[in-house]
Structure 1
Amino acid sequence: MAGSPPRIAIVGGGPAGLFAAETAAREGAKVSVYDASRSVARKLLVAGYGGLNLTHGEPLERFITRYQGPQLPDGFGKMITQFPPSSLRDWATDLGIETFEQRTGRVYPKLMKAAPLVRAWLARLRELEVSLNVHHRLTHLGPGPTLNFENGTHEAFNACILALGGASWPRTGSDAHWIPMLESHGVRVTPFEPANCGWEVDWPADSIPQLEGLPLKNLAARAGATDVRGELMLTRYGLEGGAIYQLGPALRSMELPRLIIDLKPEVPLEVLVRKMESVRRDFLEAGSQRWKLSPQASELLRLHGPYSSVLHLAQTAKALPISLTRPRPIAEAISSAGGVAWTEIDDHLMLHRLPGVFVAGEMIDWEAPTGGYLIQACFATGFQAAQGALKHLA
């Protein structure tokens, strides 16, 4: 780029914002990052408590099908393809952070910690002369773009990338305070809902001690037309776990959310019945033993009894219904669904109503299950927004 380097502001110091900053700075832009919190990468550090699941090792053609949204464009898969899981792993390796793939396909740093990666990343950003400004909460966004912050700072830039997060984990800075600011410019924002979250169930009080804190493993679960395999964790308030996280979009679309569980997905109905052919009474007790059910699975079956026959019990074990009341609060959710509608942005993630202003990360209306897909999309959209800003300025 001829003349002085373009000045690009990044508002939001999560993975999408920081990677947008790195991408733009590598191309010669003068980049300033602003974050409302006392430090950047807070959500990444919180995610690191569980080992920091960076991405997933499944084939890319399968990987890109994991993303959902009411108006998710076909180009979203292309966006992931432009910065795929292999590129994210190479990026971490270049920071000195080796990664490994678990048997499940999930990819983690070998140290199973986020802090070493964050330290190395911030050192790289300093080398690229990226300015990191904390305690800067954006209060106004104007044409130019111009940015006003709560502490009185007023700056003008050639381009701006907003990476302000969704509405989950607000203690890390994702509090959706930006919605009125964008709506004042006519930008349509789909209301946020909890995603990758637990769901509440009205368990009978006397069953809670037998259920709370226990896993249901190796099950199949269905909501509407969506089937998944995985595990569930039984809690005092309802259900948590990977299986119900994956079914979140289907459950939210149901007027009366209902989960159907197959407790023995590997065993056909007729085999379950055959293993009980000599049983004439005490069906649940016999089934728990002969089918090798866990105590918590047996307790769930007890809640749907009594059983009139072996077939009745077997059919319930293969399609056990659980009525759900509501998702857990969005502040507890791992991620959120909703955000800036896709009709409001172009292929480079620039807002139609605010030329020179781009959006990235969980601000946009997409969602994905846990397993590395969330962080991967934050990096990919940060990369796309930075490339779009550079092209816009060129």
Structure 2
Amino acid sequence: MPAASIAVVGGGPAGLFAAETAARAGASVTVFDASRSVARKLLVAGYGGLNLTHGEPIGKFISRYRGPDLPSWFGEMIGEFAPDALRQWAADLGIETFEQRTGRVYPRVMKAAPLVRAWLRRLHELGVTIEVRHRLTDIAPGPTLTFHDGPALRFDAAILALGGASWPRTGSDASWISLLQKHGIRITPFQPANCGWEVDWPEDLVSEIEGRPLKNLAATAGGRTVRGELMLTRYGLEGGAIYQLGPELRALAAPVLSVDFKPETSLDVLVRKMESVPRDFLEAASVRWKLPPQTCALLRLLGPSGSALDLARTVKSYPIPLLGPRPIAEAISSAGGVAWTELDENLRLHKLPGIHLAGEMIDWEAPTGGYLIQACFATGRRAAIGAAGSDRRAGPSTPCC
């Protein structure tokens, strides 16, 4: 019986790991990518330091993933290729990793390029063929794939790992949506995730706050509170704290972020530290509460406080009305994609047997910190195992009628 012929469409981490997994299972694998080279988004993301995964306990790690109708077996899928396995995979490529104090895991060399070069060498050794400048233009049962200016090709199985809708300049432009929708596949509209949010700052405030961080704070939206940092920008807010609250903020008709600038200090303690201050509460608080200038600038927006208690309450719950998220092209990742109800546990489409999905095409999201790449690897692995186990054996890819 000839080796199963498997097409992988998309040369990001999900697609490349699917290709590696399928090739190790004995399949004949061809990777197709519309760009002039593969792993472009990975290289851009890793230019200043590639955050591969996170070192927190697996139970907490899995809890970071969210999305409508996220299946009960999603956590099991992540656990099958957990953070330790990803670090070992990198080590086998000759890429040593380390865990920061924050739990984030990076290659020792910090850059993505050495890892990508070693990975491509491994794929070559496994017999994986990579075809660039191949844009997918049609999908049909079979599975049959058509690329721009080429014949329809039939495979035993296909894995689509075409990405979400963020960073379209790297190839994740969601142009595949219409190809699946015509087969009746339900797709949740894409929205920006892990992105900045716009705020209508007064013009005279911008020069005081732009580019300044707000550190060691707690942020609340939609009943959920997270710890982290924010970066003040000309257009609004960036940073891990607001990235984590994306789902809650998107669900609000009038999104407001509530910030506790002193989460380690109770309201009563703040008030006691202001004893004997008769007036100019903010000036005194900047010293006694150790408030940085940018925080004081924000507090001045609300006008003078009637008492130390009023100011302390504001510091513990400072409201920032938000206009909306920044454009999806700027977002680190996207929320939305193919609904989980369209897939089985092998990430195979019910309506297109033989075609599996992987990566950010599917409707899940996670915060920054290594969770995004980890899930791309895990979904790529699960899709490849399902595709390589296909009972259909037509031999190498052939032009379809």
Whether contact under 8 Å (1:190, 1:340) holds in the other structure is yes
For 1:364 and 1:50, how far apart are their aligned partners in 2? Answer: 27
Give the alignment partner of residue 333 of structure 2, picking from 332, 335, 338.
335
Helix, strand or coil at the partner of 1:91? helix
**How far off its partner does 1:280 sit?**
0.9
Question: 2:235 matched to which residue of 1?
Answer: 237
For 1:61 and 1:67, how far apart are their aligned partners in 2? Answer: 11
Question: 2:34 matched to which residue of 1?
Answer: 36
Superposition pairs of residues 167-206 of structure 1, within 5 angstroms: 167-206=165-204
Helix, strand or coil at the partner of 1:339? strand
Superposition pairs of residues 1-394 of structure 1, within 5 angstroms: 3-393=1-391
Identify unmatched segments of 5+ residues in structure 1. none
Q: CA RMSD in A?
A: 0.7
Q: Could you list the per-position Cα deviations for residues 256-302 of structure 1 after superposition, in whole angstroms to 9, with x for gaps in the alignment?
A: 00000000011110111011111111111111111110000111111
Whether contact under 8 Å (2:156, 2:390) holds in the other structure is no
For 1:391 and 1:61, how far apart are their aligned partners in 2? Answer: 29
**How far off its partner does 1:391 sit?**
2.2
Whether contact under 8 Å (1:200, 1:237) holds in the other structure is yes
For 2:268 and 2:23, how far apart are their aligned partners in 1? Answer: 63
For 2:74 and 2:139, how far apart are their aligned partners in 1? Answer: 26
Q: Could you list the per-position Cα deviations for residues 335-369 of structure 1 after superposition, in whole angstroms to 9, with x for gaps in the alignment?
A: 00000000000011000000000000000000000
Whether contact under 8 Å (1:146, 1:157) holds in the other structure is yes
Q: Could you list the per-position Cα deviations for residues 48-84 of structure 1 after superposition, in whole angstroms to 9, with x for gaps in the alignment?
A: 1130000000000110000000111111100000110
For 2:231 and 2:286, how far apart are their aligned partners in 1? Answer: 19
1:329 is matched by which residue type in structure 2?
A: P
TM-score by length of 1: 0.99
TM-score by length of 2: 0.97
For 1:305 and 1:56, how far apart are their aligned partners in 2? Answer: 42
Identify unmatched segments of 5+ residues in structure 2. 393-401
**How far off its partner does 1:153 sit?**
4.1
For 1:393 and 1:83, how far apart are their aligned partners in 2? Answer: 24
**How far off its partner does 1:114 sit?**
0.3
Helix, strand or coil at the partner of 1:389? helix
For 1:275 and 1:48, how far apart are their aligned partners in 2? Answer: 45
For 1:157 and 1:125, how far apart are their aligned partners in 2? Answer: 19
For 1:384 and 1:153, how far apart are their aligned partners in 2? Answer: 29
**How far off its partner does 1:306 sit?**
1.6
1:205 is matched by which residue type in structure 2?
A: E
For 1:332 and 1:64, how far apart are their aligned partners in 2? Answer: 26
Whether contact under 8 Å (1:162, 1:357) holds in the other structure is yes
**How far off its partner does 1:393 sit?**
2.9
2:119 is matched by which residue type in structure 1?
A: W
For 1:273 and 1:126, how far apart are their aligned partners in 2? Answer: 66
For 1:49 and 1:298, how far apart are their aligned partners in 2? Answer: 35
2:61 is matched by which residue type in structure 1?
A: F
**How far off its partner does 1:392 sit?**
2.7
Helix, strand or coil at the partner of 1:292? coil
For 1:307 and 1:220, how far apart are their aligned partners in 2? Answer: 22
For 1:235 and 1:382, how far apart are their aligned partners in 2? Answer: 36
Whether contact under 8 Å (1:159, 1:393) holds in the other structure is no
**How far off its partner does 1:224 sit?**
1.5
Identity %: 71
For 1:151 and 1:125, how far apart are their aligned partners in 2? Answer: 26
Q: Which has the higher contact order (CA 8 A, sep 6+)?
A: 2
